[in-house]
Amino acid sequence: MTRINTNVASLIAQANLAKSNSALSQTLGRLATGLRITRGADDPAGLIVSERLQTELRGIGQGVKNSERASSVIATAEGALAEVSDLLNSIKSLTVEAANTGALSKEEVAANQLQVDSAIDSITRIANTTSFAGLKLLNGSLAYNLSGVDTTEIVKTRVFAAQFGDAPTFDVDVEVLGSAQTAGLFLRSDFATTVPGGADGVLPSAMTIEVAGVDGVTEITFSSGTTIDSIMDAINSKSSITGIAAERVSATDVSSGLRFYSVAFGSDAFVSVKKLSGGSAVDFGRIINDAPEPAFWVGTPNITIADRDAGKDVVVLVNGSVATGNGLNVTVRNPELDLQMLLTEAFATAVTGTPSSFVITGGGAKFQLGPQITPLQQTNVGLDSLAATRVGGTFVTNTSGNLELQFLSSLKSGGENELGTGNLANASRILETAIDEISSLRGRLGAFERNVLQTNIRSLQAGLENISASASVIRDADFAKETSELTRAQVLVAAGTSVLAAANSNVQSVLQLLG
């Protein structure tokens, strides 16, 4: 039948032409933007996934930038530390030269002291001026803040890293489980009992002994009739050579014996006393299995005949974990805490069961290395001050004869260890500690840059590549496919237009029926 009020064919042609125009517009839009998804209606599920991937990509990209910036910060600090290391080595050279008093005049020593002063001032200046984009690196601004440290128990603390997590502070408990010990040998002196006609505290016969310690070895000869006090004085006069000192077991009883001990604590320290000749009635012994030291040699079951003994390192429990001890020094290194401590002799040699506690209240340099702001994707590094008053802290014997913690600043003019005082052994020990501290810090920063930052950058870049590829599959337009769709849509639009024109013209055939 033929109707003119409703042109069904035209309506069908219009609907299909509209679809073809919509498909053509969509294809042209994808080709123009290069994106398969330009709005939510294009692919709702794909849009959600791609937006999440875009967010992750932004975070990963920023993590790469953060790591690269952190690497620049570490490189800046390490460069300054290299200069400090050179200055310390030059001070060491000047100190060794000043010890050559047989060939150096007082004026030359004074000139060396001027150079030492200048070098130490330069170290402090570097500490105060080294910065990155206005951020001071080595003046202590990036050091951890400590509260409650009992200096009668822990005299020196260096915190390199601490993971606070969500807590505002970090508690540290330090408990001595095993005491630090010096190496020790005992000389029996109750000769009235052991030698017919002998007298307590007096050598019954001549002898020559070799005394050795970590610092060196010496040979000493004693004649018959030498008192143990004279033996003690002879040993102590060579203490700077051997690292071995001597004391009477009892200050009031010469029959109590003489104790030879290493000045240093720890397993590296040892004392060796060997009879080279004579001394047939003289015995040396050591304590068995860490038994208590005897008040007298006589009658004690705790001593066995020996000519050598070694010290022991302190054994410490830090926050429930056994830490590494080296003499009086303690090192803790785990994912939560990385620090070094120097304990006092009184604290390190007493097992009381009572810990020494302090709190890390903040500080340090925090580096955000991952796309998510969580402790697992952050790392912390502590950079202590390199000022001369903070570097080289070492226990040395001061002018009063007492052990005291002294620093690099004591080598300056007017200090207790300036070159003119003759305390060059103390100055050398402080310098060696300072050089070790700087080289250790440089190594830590180098390891952090190489093993943390660089590996993090590489892993993030790999993730960036893979996630970008995944996002591209979902969001980006496939030009080969879209150009094919464009051709199809163009053909359909042209065909639809022609069909619509034909449908519209068909109605005019009704006029022929009207004559």
**Beta bridge partner(s), residue 245:** 261
The region that residue 392 occupies, defined by phi over 0 for left and psi between -120 and 50 for alpha, beta otherwise, is left
The string of DSSP codes covering 403-443 is EEEE-GGGGSTTSTT-GGGT-HHHHHHHHHHHHHHHHHHHH
The tokens for 126 are: 């570097």
Is the four-CA dihedral 165, 170, 175, 179 of positive or negative sign? positive
Q: Can you tell me whether residue 13 is helix, strand or coil? A: helix
The tokens for 199 are: 């007298």
Distance of CA 461 to the CA centre of its chain: 26
Residues across the chain: 515
- Asked whether the beta carbons of 265 and 177 are under 8 A apart, the reply is no
Alpha helix ranges (H) inside 99-129: 106-129
176 phi, psi to nearest 5 deg: -80, 120
Residue with tokens 């790999």: 462
Per-residue pLDDT 10s for the chain (515 aa) are: 566 777 777 778 778 878 877 777 778 777 777 777 777 777 788 778 878 888 888 999 999 999 999 999 999 999 999 999 999 999 999 999 999 888 888 899 999 999 999 999 999 999 999 999 999 999 999 999 999 999 999 999 999 999 888 888 999 999 999 999 999 999 888 888 888 888 988 999 899 999 999 999 999 999 999 999 999 999 999 998 999 999 998 888 888 889 999 999 999 999 999 999 988 888 888 887 666 666 666 656 778 888 999 999 999 999 989 998 999 999 999 888 999 999 999 999 999 989 999 999 999 999 999 888 888 888 889 999 999 999 999 988 887 777 888 999 999 999 999 998 888 889 999 999 999 999 999 999 999 999 999 999 999 999 989 988 888 788 777 778 778 877 887 888 788 788 878 777 777 776 777 75
**Beta bridge partner(s), residue 406:** 394
- CA–CA gap between residue 156 and residue 150 (Å, rounded): 10
The tokens for 337 are: 């805490």
- CA–CA gap between residue 294 and residue 249 (Å, rounded): 8
Q: Which residues of 332-345 are buried (b: 16+ CB within 10 A; e: fewer)?
A: beeeebbbbbbbbe
- Asked whether the beta carbons of 97 and 437 are under 8 A apart, the reply is no
Residues 6 or more apart whose CB falls under 8 angstroms from that of 451 comprise none
Residues 6 or more apart whose CB falls under 8 angstroms from that of 481 comprise none
Please report the pLDDT score of residue 305 as a whole number: 86
Q: Which residues of 481-501 are buried (b: 16+ CB within 10 A; e: fewer)?
A: ebeebbeebeebbeebeebbe
- Asked whether the beta carbons of 307 and 184 are under 8 A apart, the reply is no
- CA–CA gap between residue 218 and residue 243 (Å, rounded): 11
The tokens for 497 are: 């237009």
Q: How far is CA 149 from CA 162, 356, 362, 381, in A?
A: 16, 8, 14, 20
The tokens for 62 are: 């920023």
- Asked whether the beta carbons of 117 and 419 are under 8 A apart, the reply is no
Longest dimension (CA), the chain: 167
Residue with tokens 């995944």: 470
Instruction: In the chain, count H helices and then E strands.
Output: 10, 23
Please report the pLDDT score of residue 1 as a whole number: 55
Residues 6 or more apart whose CB falls under 8 angstroms from that of 430 comprise 392, 394, 396, 406, 407, 408, 410, 411, 417
* One-letter-per-residue 3-state SS of 450-512: HHHHHHHHHHHHHHHHHHHHHHHHHHECCHHHHHHHHHHHHHHHHHHHHHHHHHHHHHHHHHH
**Beta bridge partner(s), residue 325:** 330
